[in-house]
């Protein structure tokens, strides 16, 4: 029943997964550009963002149309809303990749620290893992372990904090300080990517359980009675 509607919903979700794969490639590209200090790749990455944006816009426009024509309710309504939000998260992750690419460009020719780069690479790989887990769970409507993403995000946050100490310790040289500041921002971008991946998990939980709950909520953690 309602074949066309079902097809349209399915197409939206396929588009989202496609976008997710592109975003994963963007993260990988950003990490490669960073590791190899590759300016050519930076240019490609910035251009590649248009590919992601095309999917993003297609979903962004498809959803109001579907809402207006098919008035989805119940599980369908939750799916549409979840796609809307996950789409937004993916687009933001892609934006962070562009930011990283630009930072690589700005850090060109500055003295590099292998330990820091390794740590960033490690963070990035974690992010990719989180993203693919998040998207896979979304696809499978899998909420067996909804907090897994939160657990995966914790090391990233820790690495981010540790990295700052290490960057400060790099040295007094001006160019070293500049590189350290650029890398701080890269670290920050990766940390945010991890947060967005956690949010994708929240959407999966909403889709399956029917009510929205934040996995981690800074404002509540402190005010919640013991």
By the criterion CB under 8 A, which residues form the site for other proteins?
1-2, 5-6, 71-78, 209-211
| 71 or 108: CB nearest other proteins | 71
| 78 or 126: CB nearest other proteins | 78
| 79 or 86: CB nearest other proteins | 79
Among candidate residues 130, 112, 107, 101, the one with its CA nearest the CA of residue 41: 101
| 40 or 221: CB nearest other proteins | 221
Which are the contacts of 78, defined by CB distance < 8 A and separation ≥ 6?
Answer: 206, 207, 210
| 39 or 77: CB nearest other proteins | 77
Q: How far is the CB of 77 from other proteins (least distance, A)?
A: 6
Which are the contacts of 129, defined by CB distance < 8 A and separation ≥ 6?
Answer: 152
Q: How far is the CB of 217 from other proteins (least distance, A)?
A: 13
- Cβ density class 164-195: b for 16+ within 10 Å, e for less: eebbeebeeeeebeebbebbbebbbbbbbbbb
What SS3 state is found at 125? helix
Q: How far is the CB of 202 from other proteins (least distance, A)?
A: 16
Which are the contacts of 36, defined by CB distance < 8 A and separation ≥ 6?
Answer: none
Q: How far is the CB of 37 from other proteins (least distance, A)?
A: 48
Q: How far is the CB of 72 from other proteins (least distance, A)?
A: 7
């Amino acid at each position: 029943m309602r074949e066309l509607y079902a097809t349209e919903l399915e197409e939206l979700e396929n588009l989202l997964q496609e976008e997710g794969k592109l975003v994963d490639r963007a993260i990988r590209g950003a990490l490669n550009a960073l590791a190899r200090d590759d300016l050519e790749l930076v240019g490609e990455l910035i251009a590649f963002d248009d590919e992601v944006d095309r999917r993003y816009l297609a979903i962004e426009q498809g959803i109001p149309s579907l809402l207006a024509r098919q008035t989805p309710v119940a599980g369908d309504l939750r799916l549409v809303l979840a796609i809307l939000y996950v789409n937004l998260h993916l687009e933001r992750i892609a934006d962070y990749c562009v930011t990283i690419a630009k930072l690589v460009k700005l850090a060109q020719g500055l003295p590099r620290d292998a330990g820091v780069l390794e740590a960033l690479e490690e963070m990035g790989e974690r992010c990719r893992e989180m993203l693919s887990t998040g998207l896979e769970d979304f696809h499978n409507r899998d909420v067996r372990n909804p907090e897994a993403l939160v657990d995966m995000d914790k090391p990233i946050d820790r690495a981010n904090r540790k990295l700052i100490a290490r960057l400060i310790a790099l040295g007094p040289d001006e160019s070293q300080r500049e590189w350290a500041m650029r890398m701080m921002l890269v670290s920050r971008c990766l940390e945010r990517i991890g947060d967005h991946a956690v949010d994708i998990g929240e959407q999966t939980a909403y889709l399956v359980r029917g009510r929205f709950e934040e996995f981690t909520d800074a404002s509540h953690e402190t005010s919640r009675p013991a």
